[in-house]
């Protein structure tokens, strides 16, 4: 959807992609309209790229703080991210025992014990 082209569908897909078959598209618009669509898509992509780049540049300190924290801690929870976004150092990570029980996944210890149980005894 764009202000320039509106909410119209400019092509119809026919068929499904299956084992290498490509989708065929009926050409129900003129070459000039296709060029307008291409130009509008390019404009939208360029505008959003500039916006994303500006957001990253304007918040570079936060991006770098997040990257540093990820290098040190490997994972961040929502509270740690909130700390970094507020300009504070991230709080210490929660203990892995409490994280494992809250997620129900059991973490690495659970997968290691499961692998050990499945492995035949040496001897």
Distance of CA 23 to the CA centre of its chain: 26
Is the same domain home to 31 and 3? yes
Residue 109 domain-assigned (yes or no)? no
User: What is the per-residue DSSP string for 38-63?
Assistant: HHHHHHHHHHHHHHHHHHHHHTHHHH
Residue 123 domain-assigned (yes or no)? no
Is the same domain home to 1 and 54? yes
Is the same domain home to 34 and 76? no
pLDDT at 54: 98
Count of domains in the chain? 2
pLDDT at 7: 74
pLDDT at 57: 97
State which residues form the domain around 16: 1-58
pLDDT tens, per residue, the chain with 123 residues: 688 777 767 666 555 556 655 555 556 778 888 999 999 999 999 999 999 999 999 999 999 999 999 999 999 999 999 999 999 999 988 876 555 444 444 444 444 444 444 555 554
Is the same domain home to 52 and 63? no
pLDDT at 18: 61
Is the same domain home to 9 and 51? yes
């Amino acid at each position: 959807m764009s202000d320039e082209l509106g909410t119209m569908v400019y092509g119809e897909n026919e068929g499904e992609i299956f084992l290498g078959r490509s989708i065929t598209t009926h050409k129900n618009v003129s070459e000039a309209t296709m060029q307008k669509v291409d130009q509008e898509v390019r404009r939208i992509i360029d505008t959003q790229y500039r916006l994303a780049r500006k957001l990253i540049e304007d918040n570079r300190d936060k991006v770098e703080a997040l990257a540093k924290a990820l290098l040190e801690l490997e994972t961040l929870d929502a509270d740690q991210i909130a700390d970094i976004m507020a300009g504070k150092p991230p709080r210490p990570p929660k203990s892995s025992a409490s994280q494992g029980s809250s997620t129900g996944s059991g973490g690495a210890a659970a997968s290691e014990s499961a692998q050990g149980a499945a492995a035949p005894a040496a001897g």
